[in-house]
C-alpha cells in the first residue's frame, strides 16, 4: 500500500484553551523542520484538533517516518489512505484493497471504527461499521471480527474526504520544542550530556550549548566530536548554537594555584560560572548538565553542592537518578552513543588528580579559589569574549 498521508496524533494534555494553538503551531513548525531533510515535498495542514502531513509527488516513506519519529509532541503517527470519492460502493472497494495490501497475512481479527465527521453523509457510523465489516469478512474469509481486542482497528472517517488508517506508530512523545523557553546545555564529548540535552528538549525546551575546549591538550578531533554530537541532538531539538570556549588558560592557572585534588571541582565551578554568563547573555533561563549522583568523584552530593553554589539560574540535571546503563540505553536509542564513545580526550580527563576529593568542603574550595584572585576575572572575561559560536543544524 502506498501511503501518501500521515495523521499526526498528539496528547491533549497541556493543549487546552489558548495554549492549544501555540502547541499546534510549534508542532507544525517542528514537523516542517524535521521533514526538510527528507526527499519529497510535504504539505502540512491543521484541521479541528489534528494535523495531517501529505506528500506531494515522489517521496521516501521510511525517511519521512523516521523524521516524524524525531518530532517531540507527537504521540502517534498514523500512515493514512485518503480518497475523495465518498460513494458507498467506492468506500467498500477501497477498504478491501486496503486490507489486502496492508495485511498480506489475513489470519487476523479486526474491528471497524467508522466516524462521520460530516453529519450530512447518508450512512450512519453504525451502519458503516456493519457493512464494511461484512465486506471484509466476505473478501477474506480467514479474518474474524473481535470487537474487544482486535488485532486491527480499522478507522474509517468520512469527512470532506474519506480517511482510512489502522497502523499506529509510536511518536517521540513530550512537547514540541519552542513551547517552553530556552536552556544552555553544558555539552562535553561524553555519553551523558547529549542524553541530558535530548531529555530537556523533549519537554519543549529550545537548546543552546557550551563546550569547554583546552587546546592543545584537547584536540581538534575532540572538538569536532562535540560539534557532531550537537548536530545529532539537533535532529530532535532543532538548531543548536554551540559556543566553544577556550578554557586552557583558566585550567592551567587553576592547576598552578590550587590543590590538585580540588582541581576538578574548581574547574567545574568555573565552567558553571561561564556557562551561566553566556546563558544570560543569550536568553537562556536554565542550565543543563549530564550529572548523575555518585557517578564520579565530581558528582557526589558534596561535589554537586559545590558546583551548584556558583549559579543562580536553575540547573537541570535530568539524569540525576539514572544508572549508567540506563543512560547508555537512551544514547543508543537516540543515536549519540557511537559518537560519544570515540576515544578523544576531554579536558576533564587531562588534568585530573589521582585522588580527587569526593567530599569537598565548600569553605575549603572557596579558600583555594582565593589563590586565583589576581587574574581569574580577567581570564573569565577573555574566555567569554573569545568564544567561537558554531551553528549546529
> Minimal CB distance to ligand ATP: which residue?
190
Residue among 231, 191, 199 at smallest CA distance from 327: 191
Evaluate whether 344 touches 225 at the Cβ level (below 8 Å): yes
70, 170 Cβ separation under 8 angstroms: no
Per-residue binding string, ligand ATP, 210-229, x by CB under 6 A, is xxx-----------------
Place of cell 587546546: 215
Whole-angstrom Cα distance, residue 271 to residue 263?
12
Parallel, antiparallel, or unpaired for β 152-158 and 109-116? parallel
Q: If binding is defined by CB under 5 A, does position 143 make contact with Mg ion?
A: no
Q: Of 45-53, 56-64, 271-279, 348-356, which part binds Mg ion (CB under 5 A)?
A: 348-356
Residue 77 burial by Cβ neighbours in a 10 Å radius (0-12, 13-18, 19+): buried
Residue 190 engages Mg ion in binding (rule: CB under 5 A): yes
Member of 91, 186, 232, 250 binding ligand ATP (CB under 6 A): 186
CB-nearer residue toward Mg ion: 176 or 190? 190
Identify the H or E element spanning 170.
strand 169-170
CA angle in degrees (0–180, nearest 5) for 16-19-20: 65
61 belongs to an annotated ligand binding site = no
Cβ-contact 209, 279 below 8 angstroms: no
Using the rule CB under 6 A, give the single segment among 33-41, 174-182, 188-196, 255-263 that binds ligand ATP: 188-196
318 binds Mg ion per the rule CB under 5 A = no
Examine residue 187 and tell whether it contacts ligand ATP (CB under 6 A): yes
**Least distance (Å) from ligand ATP to the CB of residue 248?**
12
User: Cβ–Cβ contacts within 10 Å for residue 18, how many?
Assistant: 7
Tell me the number of residues near ligand ATP by CB under 6 A.
21
Candidate segments 157-165, 184-192, 329-337, 358-366, binder of ligand ATP by CB under 6 A: 184-192
Residues 292-331 that bind ligand ATP (CB under 6 A): 295-296, 298-299
CB of 346 to Mg ion, least distance (A): 5
Cα end-to-end distance, the chain, whole Å: 33
276 counts as binding ligand ATP under rule CB under 6 A: no
Q: Which residues pair with 182 in a beta bridge?
A: 206
Among ligand ATP, Mg ion, none, what binds residue 187 when CB lies within 5 to 8 Å by partner kind? ligand ATP
Site for ligand ATP in 331-390 (CB under 6 A): 346-348
* Cβ proximity of 229 and 187 under 8 Å: yes
**Contacting residues for 271 by C-beta, under 8 A, at least 6 apart:** 186, 212, 247
Q: Is the Cα dihedral 71, 319, 14, 22 positive or negative?
A: negative
121 among annotated binding-site residues = no
49 is in an annotated binding site: no
Binding-site residue set for ATP: 186-187, 211-212, 268, 290, 299
- What is the binding site for Mg ion (CB under 5 A)? 188, 190, 348
- What is the binding site for ligand ATP (CB under 6 A)? 186-188, 190-193, 210-212, 271, 289-291, 295-296, 298-299, 346-348
Binding-site residue set: 186-187, 211-212, 268, 290, 299
Amino acid at each position: 500500500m502506498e501511503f501518501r498521508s500521515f495523521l499526526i496524533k498528539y496528547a491533549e494534555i497541556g493543549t487546552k484553551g489558548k495554549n492549544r494553538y501555540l502547541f499546534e503551531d510549534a508542532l507544525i513548525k517542528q514537523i516542517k523542520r524535521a521533514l526538510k531533510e527528507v526527499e519529497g515535498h510535504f504539505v502540512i495542514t491543521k484541521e479541528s484538533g489534528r494535523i495531517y502531513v501529505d506528500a506531494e509527488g515522489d517521496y521516501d516513506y521510511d525517511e519521512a517516518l523516521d523524521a516524524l519519529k524525531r518530532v517531540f509532541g507527537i504521540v502517534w503517527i498514523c500512515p493514512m489512505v485518503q480518497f475523495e470519492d465518498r460513494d458507498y460502493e467506492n468506500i467498500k472497494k477501497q477498504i478491501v484493497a486496503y486490507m489486502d495490501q496492508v495485511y498480506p497475512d489475513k489470519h487476523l481479527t479486526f474491528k471497524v471504527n467508522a466516524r462521520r465527521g460530516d453529519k450530512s453523509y447518508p450512512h450512519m457510523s453504525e451502519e458503516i461499521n456493519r457493512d464494511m465489516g461484512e465486506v471484509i469478512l466476505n473478501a477474506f474469509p480467514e479474518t474474524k471480527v473481535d470487537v474487544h481486542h482486535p488485532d486491527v482497528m480499522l478507522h474509517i472517517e468520512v469527512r470532506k474526504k474519506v480517511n482510512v488508517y489502522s497502523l499506529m506508530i509510536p511518536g517521540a512523545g513530550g512537547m514540541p520544542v519552542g513551547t517552553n523557553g530556552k536552556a544552555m546545555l553544558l555539552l562535553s564529548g561524553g555519553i551523558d550530556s547529549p542524553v541530558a540535552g535530548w531529555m530537556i528538549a523533549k519537554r519543549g525546551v529550545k537548546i543552546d550549548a557550551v563546550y569547554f575546549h583546552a587546546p592543545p591538550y584537547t584536540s581538534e578531533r575532540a572538538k569536532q566530536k562535540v560539534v557532531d554530537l550537537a548536530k545529532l541532538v539537533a535532529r530532535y531539538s532543532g538548531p543548536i548554537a554551540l559556543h566553544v570556549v577556550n578554557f586552557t588558560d583558566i585550567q592551567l592557572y587553576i592547576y598552578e594555584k590550587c590543590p590538585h585534588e580540588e582541581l576538578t571541582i574548581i574547574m567545574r565551578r568555573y565552567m558553571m560560572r561561564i556557562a551561566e554568563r553566556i546563558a544570560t547573555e543569550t536568553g537562556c533561563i536554565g542550565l543543563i548538565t549530564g550529572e548523575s549522583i555518585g557517578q564520579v568523584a565530581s558528582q557526589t552530593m558534596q561535589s554537586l553542592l559545590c558546583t551548584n553554589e556558583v549559579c543562580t539560574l536553575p540547573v537541570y540535571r535530568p539524569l540525576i537518578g539514572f544508572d549508567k546503563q540506563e543512560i547508555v540505553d537512551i544514547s543508543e536509542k537516540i543515536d549519540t552513543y557511537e559518537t560519544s564513545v570515540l576515544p578523544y580526550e576531554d579536558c576533564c580527563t587531562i588534568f585530573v588528580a589521582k585522588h580527587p576529593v569526593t567530599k569537598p568542603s565548600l569553605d575549603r574550595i572557596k579558600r583555594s579559589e582565593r589563590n586565583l584572585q589576581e587574574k581569574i576575572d580577567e581570564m573569565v572575561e577573555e574566555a567569554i569574549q573569545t568564544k567561537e559560536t558554531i551553528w549546529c543544524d
